[in-house]
């Protein structure tokens, strides 16, 4: 079965959701950088199914002030093995907390090789499941509010929503 697409009206703008085989494969703010970059269909037909309803319910709860776990949903983002590893680490960042790109990079360091924050940043930036895989919780060195595919203003609003003191 191919991907099914739905739309969600969030307090921060319209979101497009993609699900395949009852798993979330994409979640993008309309018009963001890399919008639908991993989608199977670039001109989707919007439908409704149980997987989409589950994502919308999760988003309702998130924007309603709850702290739903990303593990409540089956996630299947499309990306390289390295990107998959980075996205898996992002899932461990608690609600309302942040890490830096440098701190994330250290998770990949070995005695033989140091991982660059830029390499990790590329993987974070290409996260195809925004909000649920919380790439908005990654900051630049010294807590600098840097890049977010949907815009730094959206990143700041998500962090403020989660109670992170800016």
Q: Cα separation of 43 and 45, whole Å?
A: 7
pLDDT at 1: 59
C-alpha 158: how far from chain center: 11
Domain ranges for the chain = 4-72, 81-161
Q: Cα separation of 134 and 74, whole Å?
A: 15
Query: For residue 90, is pLDDT > 90?
Result: yes
pLDDT at 34: 67
Q: Cα separation of 26 and 17, whole Å?
A: 6
pTM of the prediction?
Answer: 0.90
Q: Which of 9, 19, 78, 135 is catalytic?
A: 135
Once rounded to an integer, what is the mean pLDDT over residues 124-153?
A: 92
pLDDT in tens, 59-88: 999 999 999 999 999 999 999 999 999 999
Q: By three-state DSSP, how is residue 19 classified?
A: strand
CATH class label, 4-72: alpha beta
Instruction: Let me know if 65 is exposed, middle or buried by CB neighbors in 10 A (0-12, 13-18, 19+).
Output: exposed
Question: What is the torsion angle, in degrees rounded to the nearest 10, for the CA atoms of residue 136, residue 52, residue 123 and residue 93?
Answer: 40
Between β-strands 4-10 and 13-20, what pairing exists: parallel, antiparallel or unpaired?
A: antiparallel
Query: For residue 37, is pLDDT > 70?
Result: no
Question: Is 135 in the active site?
Answer: yes
Q: Cα separation of 104 and 135, whole Å?
A: 11
Q: By three-state DSSP, how is residue 77 classified?
A: coil
When mean pLDDT is compared across 28-32, 96-100, 157-161, the lowest value belongs to: 28-32
Tell me the CATH architecture of domain 81-161.
Orthogonal Bundle (1.10)
């Amino acid at each position: 079965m191919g991907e099914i697409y739905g739309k969600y009206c969030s307090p921060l703008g319209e979101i497009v959701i993609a699900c395949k085989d009852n798993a979330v494969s994409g979640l993008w703010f309309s018009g963001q950088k890399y919008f639908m970059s991993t989608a199977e269909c670039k001109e989707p037909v919007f439908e409704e199914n149980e997987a989409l309803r589950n994502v919308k319910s999760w988003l309702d709860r998130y924007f309603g002030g709850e702290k739903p776990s990303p593990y409540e949903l089956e996630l299947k983002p499309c990306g390289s093995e390295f990107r998959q590893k980075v996205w898996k680490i992002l899932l461990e960042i608690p609600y309302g907390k942040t890490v830096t790109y440098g701190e994330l990079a250290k998770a990949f360091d070995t005695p033989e090789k140091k991982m660059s924050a830029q390499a990790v940043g590329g993987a974070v930036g290409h996260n195809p499941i925004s909000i649920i895989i919380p790439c908005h919780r990654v900051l630049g060195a010294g807590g600098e509010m840097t890049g977010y595919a949907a815009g730094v203003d959206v990143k700041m609003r998500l962090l403020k929503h989660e109670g992170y003191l800016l």
